[in-house]
Amino acid sequence: MFKPLPLNGIPILLGLVFTTAGFASTGYAFAQSGPYLATTSLQTPNKAAIKISGTVTDQETQTTIPGVSVTIKGRNAGTSTNAKGNYSLSANENDILVFSFVGYVTREIPVSGPVLNVQLKPDASGLNEVLVVGYGTQQKRSITGAVASLTARNIKDLSITSFENAIVGQIPGVQVQEPSGEPGSAPTIRIRGVGSISAGNEPLYVVDGFPISKNVEPGVQGDPVRRTVAFRPQPANPLATISPGDIESIEVLKDAAAAAIYGSRGSNGVVLITTKRGSKDGKPNITVDTYTGIQNPARRVKLMNSAELTAYLKDARNNAYLQDVPGALASDPNSVRLTKVSAIPSLQAANYFIPDDFVNPTGTDTDWQDVIFKTAAVHNTTVAVSGGSEKLAYYVSGNYYDQNGIIDQTGFKRYSLRINLDAQPFKRLKVGFNANPSFTDQQRGSTSAPYFADPPGAVYTALVTSPTVSPYLPDGSINQSDNQSHLFTEDGRSANMTASSNPLAVINYIHDNLNQFRTTSSGFAEYEILSGLKYKLYAGADINSYNKDYYRQKAFIDRDATVGVPFGQSNASLETNWLVEHTLFYEKKLGDHAFSALAGYTAQKDKISLNQVQAENYPDDLVQTVSGGQVTGGTSAKEEWALVSYLARANYAFKDRYLFSASVRSDKASRFGKGNRTGVFPSFSAGWRIIDEPFLKDVSFLSDLKLRASWGKTGNFLIPNYASIGLLNPANYVFGNAIANGIAPSTPSNNALTWEKNTQTDLGLELGFLKNRIFATVDIYKKITSDLLLNVQVPAGVGFGTLNPLQNIGKVENKGIEISLSTRNLVGSFTWNTDLNFSANKNKVLKLGITGDPIFGASANDTRHVTRIGDAIGSYYGYVVEGIYQSQAEIDSAPKDKIAVKASPGDFRFKDVNGDGVIDANDRTVIGNYQPDFTYGITNRFGYRGLELSFLIQGVQGSEILNLTRRHLANGEALTNSYAFENDRWISPSQPGNGKIPRADKQGTVHNNNNRPSTFQIEDGSYLRLRNVTLAYTFAANTLGKKFPALRVYLSGTNLLTFTKYEGYNPEVNNQSTSNNTPGEDYGAYPLIKNYTFGVNLTFK
């Protein structure tokens, strides 16, 4: 069902924004009457609009320039020059026209009359764009590191919750994965591969100069008392508190030369987010950007219907019966089967019965995906006011975002306010202030876990639940009874099907809500001491409060038929992050020599506290807070870390042609051992602008050519706060005749614990042709992470239990290539631009501890993943399926399978990897990995006058998925519903199916163990996705009158088509996305979302 767009809330949002911005004299008064908002101008009206025309020419050649963008500053209105360089548009007499074109310097010219001819000066490099880098800005042409950028133009029409989603497919070397479509869930960003096993792999995020924390809510998630398997829901996304509409640019620092200025936190790359600022043209600019849309699952899983499952189940029971019981006939009724099986004590009769629901079908054929998924609405409204004068510039915005989930009881809401102020009270003094208070409300439920977990996941439960079962009882209540089917409880006498909960009960009776209130604020003062020498003081705070409430209702019946065990839990946490920075910046140019230098000191401290309480024995579900039940436990915790740093950077350029840069940062961090808390992280880089050499002066088709090289060292700060300190845990002991409370060591200390060090070398080439209408960038890199942190097992006799301390004893390598290509294919009244990017990365472990022993999964018993020397981190580990046995003679001549008890024709034939004539655990090998061979993205933008069409195609090649749902949906035992491809299974030598699916066998685990970890569970995760399509139209200026000078409407679609061989919902799935050692697992994740939105962007003055 759709939620109506809360129109009454929009005037309130508008009023809040304009009240906040009132000090800046926007020139409007506002009044609300019911659902309507009235605006009254307090300023003198603009002069009448006039039609302006002219010609744009090249200042040097005097030739006309087609395709020049001509826009009205501060509005979404404009045009472009035609094939003869002519343009015309309507504007007010006090407007400013902006003329821009690739390869030329942008000009801003006030309207002075009906005819305005303009000359543009060629920009030989086309790279005078200013990019944000660590602690400053640089012209793109002078940057010697690997830095990529996106602007607000790349984001404006996307229906996204958080800015990370905007990076998908647009920057080479940056892989953004969306493992879950759950509203508010966090995407995963990896820059140039995975560099750590035990530490974090997320980049550092810096918002308007503040390195912010990406901690997710602390504490135990879900139901800790009854949870039998440690499956965690997808983490919340703390960065979703930032409205994408407030972002001006996103810069990604990829190599060590660019990121080393952030030292111990630059190992995984750095993402710099710059928000919008006010202008100084004196006029308030008011924009309203709103869209609404609908959402559906991007894909559906193909499952069996009732008739197919009935045939499949009968086939599985009959095959097992005929194989294990002498004299058995497939036509034997259950009464005869009971007699024959009972004569064999080692067998259980229920394994060979045909359940009553399948002997006498009820006619029910439920599509459980239809039952749990729905069409859901999404709304977004952003109102912003910006403007100012030479003394004060302001940007104030408010955002309301509401995304309903495609599964009931899931959704995400955001309310945010942003205030950015810049002032220059004196000639040498600049001051500024930023504040971003926000509140988010995320409903998560229990969606992305296996059906056998506690609590179960609704998605996986829907996949395994039999279509022969009705979701509701005759009285309309949710069916949790075994009266209609034995699916919901294990009844060995008649069914012996795997029990599960009703997915509707999981959705409606288990609640998991997370609220986050976050305020990030900062201020700065910059004083020019002497010409070229500036001192800057920067200080800020990031205050983050989480409140999480979990409740399982009394009405919920678990898969083990446990009835009425309500459970509640409440978590509250507060994180405060303080930062102060002092920097000195100096720049000087003397003739052909240009020099700049930066020196600084920073200190940052973070504190976090947690309180958790849980309760049981609720009398009913009316009061779902912990006070409504009997409190049975609780805990509290406090942690903190601190970082003190000194930094410096120097840049030198000779003739703007020979470029050199060096930086160093010294970090002292509380997280490491006493003797190793200080780390020094240097970098060096150089660039050669070959295009400016005299010998290329007459090469007219070449407009830019630059070589750059860099080397640097960074560190990884993302480890637990107290990993180097010996920890104590509560422990009881006998004292006299009583039990006394005490404490005991749980992990040993490690004063030698130090940083993971990332050393990276990068070579880059930048090429421009035809005044940069064609521009390409190529980077090759090699990144070595040494002193890799690993959890090392200590001898049992030491007395530290199973908690293994971190030690620096590993090494891993990432090397690859990145290519980006931008082309301006057509210019004039019809334009066509293309942006393409490609990246390939190879990950390899070089060293593991002293002995080099492999690391298995998340624990010694988890052998589905392995990290071993020579392979990628977290590779899949198991047996290799060579084919399917077609005859008993083939089985007899094959290597002896010590894991199989009794193989039959139709079973898998596993490979003898080590060639010793037997199949055993020694034949397990690496059978794939989650990391792709390469990724790519292609964006095309077409324009004709005010009409725009753009589409983004994004893809991944070579990634593989460990589809653990096959353990139940394709195991041949027919204990649950199954994938539709099981209809192509092996039935007989004359009916071999597609040659890839083994026979159905209820006792398959006992007979041949076809379900052991193997290549059968590995699927190709490659995909090509139509990520976004947008059709927009910008109306001519003042179409709605002078008070509304710009109007733009658009239709947009996201995740419209995905081409993949993967059987599941999403080839980006990664249920344990927070684990480096166990990536790529799918056990029923929330599907990726496909949406369609309609939006309006309105500017008024």
**Could you tell me the sign of the dihedral formed by the alpha carbons of 13, 17, 20, 23, in that order?**
negative
The residue ranking higher by pLDDT, 957 or 901, is 957
Least confident of 102-116, 367-381, 834-848, 882-896: 102-116
What whole-number percentage of the chain has pLDDT above 90?
Answer: 61
| Over residues 3-13, mean pLDDT | 44
pLDDT of residue 754: 86
> 807-844 pLDDT, tens per residue?
888 899 999 999 999 999 998 888 999 999 999 999 99
Distances (CA, A) of 177 to 180, 1067, 1069, 1082: 9, 10, 8, 14
| Over residues 124-133, mean pLDDT | 69
Distances (CA, A) of 885 to 330, 572, 573, 909, 990: 22, 57, 57, 6, 13
Least confident of 6-15, 302-311, 553-562, 935-944: 6-15
- The end-to-end CA distance of the chain, in Å, is 37
pLDDT of 42 above 50: no
Find out whether 86 and 95 touch, Cβ atoms under 8 Å. Answer: no
Structure tokens at 1004: 């398959």
pLDDT of residue 762: 98
pTM (2 decimals)? 0.87
b or e along 670-691 (b: 16 or more beta carbons within 10 Å of the residue's beta carbon)? bbbbeebbebebbbbbbbbbbb
> 1032-1081 pLDDT, tens per residue?
998 877 677 767 778 899 999 999 999 999 999 999 999 887 788 889 99
771 pLDDT tier (thresholds 50, 70, 90):
confident
The residue ranking higher by pLDDT, 587 or 40, is 587
| Over residues 520-530, mean pLDDT | 96
Neighbouring C-alpha atoms within 13 Å toward the C-beta of 801: 9
804 pLDDT tier (thresholds 50, 70, 90):
low
Q: What is the mean pLDDT of the chain?
A: 87
In whole angstroms, what is the distance from residue 524 CA to residue 734 CA? 59
pLDDT of residue 1044: 73
pLDDT of residue 563: 66
pLDDT of 239 above 60: yes
859 pLDDT tier (thresholds 50, 70, 90):
low
Is the bond into 895 cis (omega within 30 degrees of 0)?
A: no
Least confident of 190-194, 339-343, 753-757: 753-757
| Over residues 281-292, mean pLDDT | 88
CATH architecture classification, 49-120: Sandwich (2.60)
> 445-496 pLDDT, tens per residue?
888 888 777 788 999 999 999 898 889 988 999 988 653 344 433 333 334 4
pLDDT of residue 35: 36
3 pLDDT tier (thresholds 50, 70, 90):
very low
> 418-445 pLDDT, tens per residue?
999 999 999 999 999 999 999 999 998 8
What whole-number percentage of the chain has pLDDT above 70?
Answer: 88
Closest alpha carbon to 193 in 933, 1070, 1027: 933
Residue 105, class by beta-carbon neighbours within 10 Å (0-12 exposed, 13-18 middle, 19+ buried)?
middle
| Over residues 850-861, mean pLDDT | 78
> 542-570 pLDDT, tens per residue?
999 999 999 999 888 876 666 667 899 99
pLDDT of residue 421: 97
pLDDT of residue 799: 54
Least confident of 294-298, 355-359, 431-435, 613-617: 355-359
| Over residues 986-1001, mean pLDDT | 95
* Phi, psi at 570, each rounded to 5°: -130, 130
| DSSP of 77-136 | -EEE--TTSEEEEEEETT-EEEEE-TTB--EEEE--SSB--EEE-B-SSS---EEEETTE
pLDDT of residue 8: 46
